[in-house]
Structure 1
């Protein structure tokens, strides 16, 4: 049984901070550019958690899967 008390401090990390979002967006674009036949599809106002429920994401995924590499 663990009897140690939890630390009094907590760490918070927001994935919605503008600076972090900008870095992630830039890195994602760079990765797509570095990938042979890669492409980047941005959905404004969405992130990797809620993008799959977007109609634009689903349409782009269907188009991507239907293309010959």
Structure 2
């Protein structure tokens, strides 16, 4: 599974970069997104779901950093 680190990005670039990565993936493939808590953690999973893809899981990794695993649908 590929990892996309967007911890240094700010909204709306967090979702833009996530969407670009998903556009290059095939159905059923997964990507792990590393992002910061707050607005990115609130918005990226919500936007991905609204777009029709699936959030497999969200995990807290370390201070302020989270992992979101997304499956391309």
TM-score, scaled to structure 2 = 0.31
- Specify which structure has the higher proportion of helix: 1
Q: Larger Cα Rg: Structure 1 or Structure 2?
A: 1
RCO higher in structure (CA 8 A, sep ≥6): 2
- Specify which structure has the higher proportion of strand: 2
TM-score, scaled to structure 1 = 0.32
